[in-house]
A and B are shown apart, each in its own frame.
Chain A
Amino acid sequence: DIQMTQSPSSVSASVGDRVTITCRASQDISSWLAWYQQKPGKAPKLLIYVASSLQSGVPSRFSGSGSGTDFTLTINSLQPEDFATYYCQQANSFPRTFGLGTKVEIK
């Protein structure tokens, strides 16, 4: 299985801050990476697919980059509704695997 390592596991930030989350795959996954946002008691929501494509309806302050094994999710100008847990997922091979998540908390 491909291991997905996210860092940091949590980050404290203020409204208006820029937040960067990284995800490293244990082997080359090309651009087959997605990012999801999950709020407590809710299903995950797709933000980014194929590493850098913004899902329809997702604000442009979210962006993704990377290829191969190293990927980044950036949230520009953090908004109150962005406080949540973020997961990366590889879609290169089976089984699909997720990172352990990064919790974005209010500073």
Chain B
Amino acid sequence: QVQLQESGPGLVKPSETLSLTCTVSGGSISNYYWSWIRQPAGKGLEWIGRIYASGGTNYNPSLKSRVTMSVDTSENQFSLKLSSVTAADTAVYYCARDGRGATSDYWGQGTLVTVSS
């Protein structure tokens, strides 16, 4: 059973960079796309972007100038960096695997990131 676990600081100061890592267990990171999705409290889901195991990426244009994703196949991990954060970036951040139908079939439990000084 594939499992994903997000990790990273829960509090980030405004203008700094949010950094999260997703560790994949129970399966290989190879041959799949891996996504980041976020959800502000009480609101809907926003797709941030995805990365292939070989490193190819697709980013949401609304965030593209601030987003960097990377993958470490040796550690079975992939990462998200979001620069110049503001309070509007406060959300639960999920990592997920793109499976059948290019949809997210396995999700991490989510991690709350708060942007505040």
**Chain A residues within CB distance 8 Å of chain B:** 1, 32, 34, 36, 42-46, 49-50, 53, 55, 87, 89, 91, 94-101
Contacts A44-B45, A45-B107 supplied; 7 other A-B pairs, CB < 8 Å: A43-B109, A44-B107, A46-B105, A49-B101, A89-B47, A97-B47, A100-B44
Interface secondary structure of B, over-half rule: mixed
Chain A residues within an 8 Å CB radius of B99: 46, 49
Count contacts between A and B, CB distance < 8 Å. Answer: 62
Query: What is the size category of the interface that chain B forms with chain A?
Result: 20 to 34
A interface SS class: loop
B89-104 CB mask vs A (1 if < 8 Å, else 0) is: 0000010100111111
B46 at the interface (CB under 8 A from A): yes
Residues of B within 8 A of A (CB): 35, 44-47, 49, 58-62, 94, 96, 99-105, 107-110
Q: Give Cα A43 to B36, complex, Å.
A: 12
Point out which of A42, A46, A95, A100 has the most chain B C-beta atoms below 10 A from its C-beta: A95
Which residue in B35, B44, B61, B102 is a CB contact (below 8 Å) of A98? B44
Q: Which residues of A contact B110 (CB under 8 A)?
A: 43
Alpha-carbon separation in the docked complex, A44 to B49 (Å) = 17
